[in-house]
Chains A and B, each alone.
Chain A
């Protein structure tokens, strides 16, 4: 790449640090050159309800927002946030351990303790930071983290940030987990990291067996229940509750950005020494606390989720109806049965996936286009997440949209 300037100067050739991303830039350009609307640049110009928005100028049904319980427009949730903003201002401008703990930060932690029936709750600025902070702080040099290979990026990044030995096992494979636990040197600290619902395929983990085996080998267990809070388990505490092992789980990680309908992350635990985490967990200490409005809205939402029985029943109805309907239309799904509020529709490849995504958007339906590296085994998926506020009619409308788009693109 000689230019007139290089010719006249002896300066070293600069290395473009962004050059390593050229293949990604190319893939994206190819996709857009095919005339597809950019799947990663969608704008919601107006949000009309938890299930409807104006997206790129079109009235669109939302089927990919993780807004499982539809709390984003709950009048009580909005009122609590408004009041807190009036009374406490727009932001905290500080860390939780300095000037960033307001009344409502304490209150949302109280709401979490009530919701989970646990002794301790710690709120982070996002779910990502909760995993990053808790995992990297718990497992240090010489300790072992044993985790499912399909774990969320925030879990992997928590592993990368710490100094522990990282040992992955095959997705949801109880035997693979047990073999690895057996081989870990005696006396080493062990943290087993699992998820209740895996967000790409919407499948549930065999926590009952996995937690039992982990405990039998002296490991501590952390379960990320981001995609189950509010509607799985008798109290909506997640898959660990549903499978009867929540009392043996040492740490539950969760988020406010799904069922709670706001933003933020948390960890709840019964460990007697848990509070020390506030002093030693860097992603908790070295970041600004969430705004008071978010905390007040979240606390109200969490307490309402404790009494959301009817909404939960309707969410499950929606999930079953959509799953059954898509199978009948001939789509290939990530799970044989509806296991959660996520339904993954398998696409033959990225190109067809992007075309299908666009066809659905033009029909007036938003779903997530998920592709590697976020997806397992290089798959392209159209990931649908249902909401308790989707009406039965909307689910039928959605099925009609899938049928027309799928036939137009030639997938069914």
Chain B
């Protein structure tokens, strides 16, 4: 994959900011989110919440995050890194 810098390529910080707005309606207890914040543990996401949240991200970035990829994503930092990589490819 050639790394020709497209002008609208998002930085990890951009991706982080975008997903932060998407997660708001799902973060019902208003838990402070850091890189190490986990979805199943800290945010208490059940499988349906995960599906809805993932669908929001997929629609926003026009990507697919398969269940196989989701299985590797446990915390916020991993999610931002994965989405950044997906939307960049």
Residues of A bordering B, CB below 8 Å = 144, 149, 159, 165-170, 176, 179-180, 183-184, 376-378
B66 touches A167 (CB 8 A): yes
B55 at the interface (CB under 8 A from A): yes
> B51 — nearest CB in chain A belongs to which residue?
A149
B51, A180: Cβ atoms closer than 8 Å: no
Q: Which of B51-89 contact A (CB under 8 A)?
A: 51-52, 55, 58-59, 62-64, 66-69
B46: interface (CB < 8 Å): yes
Point out the residues of chain B lying under 8 angstroms from A159, CB to CB.
67
Q: Are A167 and B59 in contact (CB under 8 A)?
A: no
B48 within 8 A of A: yes
Q: How many pairs of residues, A versus B, come closer than 8 Å at their CB atoms?
A: 35
**CB < 8 Å neighbour of A180 from B46, B64, B68, B69:** B64
Interface residues of B (CB under 8 A from A): 46, 48, 51-52, 55, 58-59, 62-64, 66-69
Q: Is the CB of A184 within 8 A of B64?
A: yes
Are A183 and B66 neighbours in the complex by a CB distance under 8 Å? no
Which of A167, A170, A377 neighbours the largest number of chain B CB atoms within 10 Å of its CB? Answer: A167
Complex CA distance for A193 and B69, rounded to whole angstroms: 19
- A149-B51, A377-B48 known; A183 vs B64 contact (CB < 8 Å): yes
Contact pick for A165, options B46, B58, B63, B66, CB 8 Å: B66
Contact check, A183 vs B68: say whether CB atoms are below 8 A apart: no
The residue that A176 contacts in the complex, of B55, B63, B68, B69, with Cβ under 8 A, is B55
CB B60 to nearest CB in A, in angstroms, measures: 12
What residues of A have a CB within 8 angstroms of the CB of B69 in the complex? 165
Partner of B51 from A166, A168, A183, A184 at Cβ < 8 Å: A168
B66:A179 contact, CB within 8 angstroms = no
A147 to B, closest residue via Cβ: B67
* Extra pairs beyond A167-B67, A183-B63 (13, CB < 8 Å): A144-B66, A159-B67, A165-B64, A165-B68, A165-B69, A166-B68, A167-B66, A169-B55, A170-B51, A170-B52, A176-B55, A184-B64, A378-B46
CA distance A176 to B59 in the complex (A): 9
Question: What residues of A have a CB within 8 angstroms of the CB of B63 in the complex?
Answer: 183
B62–A183 CB distance below 8 A: yes
Q: B59 contacts A179, CB within 8 Å? A: yes
Set B48, B52, B58, B67: member contacting A183, Cβ < 8 A: B58
In the complex, the chain A residue whose C-beta lies closest to that of B66 is A165
The minimal Cβ–Cβ distance linking B14 to chain A, given in whole angstroms, is 20
